[in-house]
Amino acid sequence: FCKFSMLSDQLQVKAGDQYDEKVLNAALHFNRESTDIASLYMDQGHLLFSVDVVKTVNDGTIDLTLKLFEGPVFTVSEILVSGNTSYPAKKVLKKIECKSGEAFSRSKLNRSVEKIGSLGAFDPEQVVVDPKPNLETNEVDILFEVKEI
């Protein structure tokens, strides 16, 4: 899916740089700006994407080998909302950017959580997304759990 040069740019680690595990992890997994390598893959439907880092120490240097597992592309099947007792689910669903039939996208889920939290009807800290993948069909149901204020 991604070209080496694109991954290298996202990684922001160059030969000769001082090794910083925090910088590496932010470049690989779940940074707030969604510019990490996991986001690149998850925004293209690769819900099960993972990366293993193999570190080899040689004479004061560290060689890094990244083993990427893309996994299959998942399609959004059903989108559900729970925890809303008085606020209509239909209004919540309008704020959700991902749609049935589209490829899974982590960035869309994150933006949807922000939009739901800004409605003023729910505790923004209590909006939780629970993807439920079906490994046989490569489809994912997405549950948005909310807590009304």
Tens of pLDDT, residue by residue over 83-134, are 999 999 999 999 999 999 999 999 999 999 999 999 999 999 999 999 999 9
Tokens 């779940």, residue located: 30
pLDDT band at residue 1 using 50, 70 and 90 as cut-offs? low
Is residue 7 pLDDT above 80, yes or no? no
| Cα–Cα distance for residue pair 19/14, rounded to 1 Å | 10
For the chain, give percent helix, strand, coil, nearest 5. Answer: 30, 30, 40
| Cα–Cα distance for residue pair 92/7, rounded to 1 Å | 35
DSSP designation for 148: B
Burial of 44 (0-12, 13-18, 19+ CB in 10 A): middle
Degrees (nearest 5) of the Cα angle 147, 148, 149? Answer: 120
Identify any residues that bridge with 6 across adjacent strands, giving them in sequence order. Answer: none
pLDDT band at residue 71 using 50, 70 and 90 as cut-offs? very high
Residue 34, pLDDT score: 73
Tokens 């490829």, residue located: 103
| Cα–Cα distance for residue pair 126/118, rounded to 1 Å | 12
Is residue 5 pLDDT above 70, yes or no? no
Contact 97, 142 (CB under 8 A): no
Is residue 60 pLDDT above 90, yes or no? no
Q: What is the pLDDT of residues 41-50, one digit of tens each?
A: 999 999 999 9
